[in-house]
Amino acid sequence: MERFVDVAPGVRLWAEDFAPHGGVDGTAEPLLLVMGANASGLAWPDPLIEQLAERHRVIRYDHRDTGRSTWAFDERPYAISDLADDAIAVLDAFGIERAHVVGMSMGGILVQLMLLDHPDRLLSATVLCTTALGSGLARADDTEVAGSPAPPGPDPALLALWQEMGRPRDREAEIAWRVEHWRLLNGTGTPFEAGEFRALEERVIAHAGRHDNPAAHARAAQTGLDRGAELAGVEVPTLVIEAPEDPVNPPPHSGHLSRALGRGRLVRVPGMGHALNSTVVAPVAAAILTQSAPAAAGAAS
């Protein structure tokens, strides 16, 4: 079922929920998917949602300035931290008191903010392809914690491509740019099928009704992200999925985050990069479902 969620004056988010297989079941615990920067909720692959819906009521949504949600950053700018509040507003709109939450890339940063500010709303958390608050791309400035070595940054080829992110292009050129972006994000540890990601981006463009990319999240304020020291107090069980071939947040980002969390644990998906291609869907789904199982998440209740 699709719906729109009002999260701020003049700002609406598109959201969609999937009933657990077999129909609506009040005993099925909800699971919220939080996607990365400048990415529609459709970037969560349907086969992944199908597997998660074996047990959960699954919800995905479009961030501001993506998909069918409001595109108005230039008129109503916001901070990355505001997007974490948006995720809570989506839960409120669906009448969900507590949920398992899964965040990828920037979505993993938002989940960390939810763990700190709204722990009572989370049954469990899973983050993947991300970095700890106050570290790497989740720093409010260019300084590192005194005495700590700087973690590795994104692949220089990605940094060069990101410089072109917001440039105007016609539809075909934009799709070509996005497919190349996915090729770099995917890395070399698993096969990259250009047709798979071209089909994805064609769906995303049809869903949004536009092909431009304002790169709003790259321009959003990063104030309030230097909160890494608070992660040690997190009581919600949190799984960190490490993608060893991730060109954005390569190891040791995931290991650092799992150690920083009060109740973090780490699993690795061999060969995975910064993309949910068809070869990694099954192991990622299995890791999420293990984390959301009653035995794993029960301590958060």
- Give the residue numbers marked as catalytic: 105, 246, 274
Element (H, E) at 6: strand 2-8
Q: CA–CA distance from 269 to each of 68, 102, 188 (Å)?
A: 31, 16, 14
* Cα distances (Å, whole numbers) of residue 261 to 97, 166, 208, 287, 299: 23, 34, 36, 18, 15
CB atoms within 10 A of CB 145: 13
Residue with tokens 């998906």, as numbered in its chain: 269
**Tokens representing 26?**
């009040």
- Neighbour count for residue 211 (Cβ, 10 Å): 18
Question: Which letter does DSSP use for residue 36 in this model?
Answer: -
Return the SS3 of 282.
Answer: helix
Provide the residue count of the chain: 301
CA distances from 247 to 39, 132, 136, 251 (A): 17, 16, 12, 9
